[in-house]
Structure 1
């Protein structure tokens, strides 16, 4: 990905450290509302795994299965503590994601309610920067700042998987998931 910063901090699973951090913050018996899209098998399996991992740190995650449209409304309203969602870019430029997820736009930073004014300002400046080296550094700085704030946690990368019969030729999909069917033929 353009301007990807490979040295972003990795946050290893460490329930004992989490317990210590909660204790130092004066938090005990933490219970979180975890929204799940009912009928989404991957979302449900992910929720059970995350729930089990949180339990090891002494955190209770109450799973709440709701209809996908209700889940969307609840995330928009901020009526949740944990929710797993997906992200895919429509364009190769990082501005789309930084604006949508870090720039305090009308979607409340993809329903995370993340706010950092220094990050927001840098998002706006990076969008307008024409010098490729300066722009790259801005996007590296944005990644560092947002990851330091733990604006969200990346759980996994799910590549596009396509299946076609042997009699299909010239089916192509770009890394953003767009199909190119102009030259696709069935023999």
Structure 2
């Protein structure tokens, strides 16, 4: 792991947590005013150009990962997918306002066809996005996500270290909250019910 990139990510995370702790609670979103998110142009799982503008008016549940991830990504996406299904049953109108998005940090392997098969395993409305290495680096930076390629000794294969975070953005792309994906579907659903209006 590149030490300077890790320290930059750690500083960003600390700033977000401090902002969340001092937000005053109540109806004030924990990430209100955070400099997260922004415009992007990527490619979706059907090979079509996708931009942040097409999600205007929707709450965006954004998770960064990669399809070859052996453990955390599938578990987190399973929780996100389950939370979406639960919300669809308990409050279909709110669920319809949420767009789950998976952005790959492994553009070398995660081509649209690979993403299409992968995202379909978690939720029918989960959109998979990929792009060129430069596009992915740009969107990851804007969304406060760290990732780095880790070569395996004596093998042509590699892994990708990445920050494990699920972010909720509002209808105008404004950052709202970090979702508790590590606490399971019920916790994610509760936060969606809290913040989606």
Question: How high is the TM-score relative to the length of structure 2?
Answer: 0.28
Q: Which has the higher strand share?
A: 2
- Structure of higher CA gyration radius: 1
Which of 1 and 2 has higher RCO (CA within 8 Å, sep 6+)? 2
TM-score, with length taken from structure 1: 0.29
